[in-house]
Structure 1
């Protein structure tokens, strides 16, 4: 029954996500709310229904989510166009762009899988969130690639044949986006917890040093 409850929540969450993506400009807040709900489902549970948590995050992160969505959309479109030129134009075959563009695309995907979950969980500026997302993706490289591998495998399976395309599209619209976010949420929660512990340890060390310095100065 618990498993069926999780599946039902993922179906509802997937539907909310797709509906909120229809205006296009709201894709960023919708992705943020999606990760906010799935990280809660995979970690601490406050008893709030999926719908309530989704719109709570959607409203709270609307402005920053829209801005981040525009930035990632523009960067993704630019990289996609560059990859298209790299694939179809012979002028790029022996240039440095043959290396730079794939590297930039990988860095983009690595940053993307952390940026919106970070926005959902921590208060920061948009540029600060993107910077931290990139740093976190590099420092947790094995976990980053495990999340990218899951996404890539699902996309590749969907596009494998016409049969898998039909069934795959049905699954994507039914619970595909929420299921992938839920699976990655277990990885993200572990990374976030580790970073929070390191940050708390650093704060405690700084406070301890300040206390020692103050006591020495009084003496």
Structure 2
């Protein structure tokens, strides 16, 4: 039956689920190795694979992850630390608002504003770092520019991520599923949003004769 063949929907679904599980395990191991400090390296390496999966370019997930992990140590490490500090800053702002009596509403507004800014600067930074060779500063700057330029799509992405996170926290069964595939599911979601944007920017730069980025895949 075609349904159970290699090109059938069941095989494709199981293959995608397996890749997601393997990618999640790789991400967890890569993060735990550095006691959490290598979360940036692990995330960039995961996006290296996620962007390929978003274009149906399948391969050996574990082997590709190890190669990408080694390749992105220099860029991923500081990017991860920046993301951790930014996340903790926003969390601390909301904690102060909740714990301090008579806290001003401006503190809450600042928490949402800073969270939106940090999200814009970082949401595309990891896939950008995985796909292109650029400085850390320019990578973060380009992430913010893409977020502004594709504002509607970025807002939709934020909503989808929020729904995924809340879903994985709904009950203990979903929490377990979230541990098994949660981070990889978010990485693949961002990859599916980011890849069409990257392709469009690449086409526009080619038409305009610009060399804004250096594609790592083309370098190899």
Q: TM-score, structure 2 length as denominator?
A: 0.83
Work out the CA distance in 1 between the residues paired with 2:56 and 2:22. Answer: 19
Verify the 8 A CA contact 1:115 1:129 in the aligned structure 2. yes
Q: 1:127 aligns with which of 100, 124, 137?
A: 137
Verify the 8 A CA contact 1:114 1:133 in the aligned structure 2. yes
Verify the 8 A CA contact 2:122 2:143 in the aligned structure 1. yes
Q: 1:199 aligns with which of 185, 197, 205?
A: 205
Equivalent residue, structure 1, for 2:185: 179
Work out the CA distance in 1 between the residues paired with 2:52 and 2:38. Answer: 21
Equivalent residue, structure 2, for 1:170: 176
Deviation (angstroms), 1:136: 0.6
Unmatched runs of 5 consecutive residues or more in structure 1: 205-219
**Using a 3 Å threshold, how does the CA distance of structure 1 residues 118 and 9 change in structure 2: closer, same or farther?**
same
SS at 2:123 equivalent: helix
Deviation (angstroms), 1:20: 1.0
Work out the CA distance in 1 between the residues paired with 2:104 and 2:28. Answer: 39
Q: Do residues 49 (structure 1) and 60 (structure 2) align?
A: yes
How many pairs does the alignment contain?
A: 198
Deviation digits for residues 50-90 of structure 1 (CA, Å, limit 9, x no counterpart) = 11221121111111100111112112212221221123224
**Using a 3 Å threshold, how does the CA distance of structure 1 residues 158 and 175 change in structure 2: closer, same or farther?**
closer
Q: 1:157 aligns with which of 141, 148, 167?
A: 167
Equivalent residue, structure 1, for 2:217: none
Equivalent residue, structure 2, for 1:10: 20
The structure with the greater share of residues assigned to helix is: 1
Deviation (angstroms), 1:44: 5.5
Q: Which moved more, 1:193-202 or 1:176-185?
A: 176-185
Work out the CA distance in 1 between the residues paired with 2:153 and 2:64. Answer: 26
SS at 1:48 equivalent: coil
Unmatched runs of 5 consecutive residues or more in structure 2: 1-10, 211-220
Equivalent residue, structure 2, for 1:87: 98
Question: What pairs up with 1:73-152 in 2 under 5 angstroms?
Answer: 73-90=84-101, 92-93=103-104, 96-152=106-162
Work out the CA distance in 1 between the residues paired with 2:97 and 2:139. Answer: 30
Work out the CA distance in 1 between the residues paired with 2:13 and 2:169. Answer: 28
Work out the CA distance in 2 between the residues paired with 1:195 and 1:27. Answer: 28
Q: Which moved more, 1:13-22 or 1:173-182?
A: 173-182
